[in-house]
Amino acid sequence: MGGALKAAPYAAMVMDARTGEVLHSRNADTRLHPASLTKMMTLYVAFEAIRLGEITLDTPVRISQHAASEPPSRLGLRAGSTIRFRYLIRAAAIRSANDAATAIGEAISGSEAAFAQRMTRTAQALGMTRTTFRNAHGLTQEGHLSTASDMTIMGRRLFYDYPQYYNIFSRRQDDAGIATIRNTNRALLDAYRGADGIKTGYTRAAGFNLVASAERGNVRVIATVFGGQSTAWRNQRIMELMDMGFARAPARATERRPALPSYGPNSGAGTGESVLTSGVVSQSLRPMPRPGATQAPRAPEPALLAAIEEAVGQAIQAAATEPDPQPQATPEPASTTADALPPPATQPMPRPQAQVETAVTQPQPVPPRPADEPEPIIVAGPLEPEVITRASSSGSRLFGVSLGPQPSHHAAERLLLRTALSEIGTFDQALRRVVQRSGGYEARFQGLTEDQAARACARLTARAIPCEPFGPAS
């Protein structure tokens, strides 16, 4: 075998969208490559430009050679052609098209470099203090960095600041003028009840990234993952994070809507003029829930144990009654560029809510690093330089813990969910699995390092919960 495969650094955040309260954080302030999560800011500035009268949805945009030559994922724009601005927005949001994102930036600011400066100024005004942009699409470039925390803020601001456009992120497909495009996030949208956005991202340097939002009853949760190991791994992880968010968020909370950013004359969004912060939209034009996706609001949580039991009960009921999501007809093509994902993972998508499978599969690695790519990524920007190292995915996360055999699949699922919710800090990076054995159904957490597995068993044993660590050969 050759050298060990490498994985991008992992980071995550979960936020109560209503209040901005952080419900979970892991390496959330580490500056990493955002990949096509960048396009959330590209679209935010596009919506802002429409609001300020700089451009309209029907403005014809002439495509430059620079925009037309962007690598995949692409809409297929040709240099010298014209296309309406609304189709560029659709292509960037739904297809994650790099040529469309660049064309948006050039149409608003004259050049992609000037647009990237505006993106960075806007990020600072929104409180995304550790984000700097160098392009409109998210392909890897020195100094083009963000954090899980900042991208979670970005997802929340798209929802609250421009609700009239937010539904575009939940469209499975749409007309982009020269082609019908399909959503890069449709697997999650179909698999997770209440999901309605927001944006995927992938490059070799970034790994598999995702910002996702879901609403159930009166609660909306936004979750972010950086450094996923595969499409399937990323989607399962984000669903587990959103499950955690719904379990932790109160059933009722006072909504705190952010105000539109106010730009001074020297830090404006590109026009050099002050932007008024009045006129905040008071009602979100979100899509109606899909048929069969309704859910009664959860009762208030009197205590942690009651919350855990309630969440477990809901997840088990959903696993028993809801059908598996339909397989996707057309996988994304393989590439090393933003949102042109490698072939989909061979492990099946987890069922909504429970995310428990009866066969053991290991998380799939990201594509190998080219031979000429240095081991660490040394990042320089306006903030202090950071060295972001890559953690091994070939041997460090092939361990796990077994909670022992259970009399039924249902009992194993229930034990895993109860344990995960009561030990969130211990198992927040683990995957849940139910494996059928001759003696019953074994409940497992896997995807841990050897040290994490040992510490997890120590914590469970101290609480009189049977636990046994296992390694790659188990």
Active site residues: 36, 39, 96
Rg for the chain (alpha carbons), in Å?
22
CA distance 298 to 305: 15
For residue 108, cis peptide bond before it (omega within 30 degrees of 0): no
**CB within 8 Å of 177: residues ≥ 6 apart:** 83, 84, 87
Residue ranges of E strands in 217-370 = 219-228
CA distance 23 to 156: 14
Judged by DSSP in three states, 270 sits in coil
Structure token digits, residue 394: 């070939």
Structure token digits, residue 67: 């925009």
> How far is the first Cα of the chain from the last one, in angstroms, to the nearest whole number?
21
Q: How many CB atoms lie within 10 A of CB 377?
A: 19
**Which residue do the tokens 């456009």 mark?**
165
User: CA 304, 459, 449: angle at the middle one, nearest 5?
Assistant: 115
CA distance 304 to 248: 9
CA distance 370 to 372: 5
The DSSP secondary structure of 378-430, one letter per residue, reads: EE-SSS--EEE--EESSSTT-EEEEEEEESSHHHHHHHHHHHHHHTHHHHTT-
CA distance 382 to 238: 31
Q: CA torsion angle for 309, 312, 316, 322 (degrees, to 10)?
A: 120
In DSSP terms, 461 is beta-bridged to none
How many CA within 13 A on the CB side of residue 340? 16
Residue ranges of E strands in 127-257 = 173-175, 180-182, 195-203, 207-216, 219-228
CA distance 259 to 263: 12
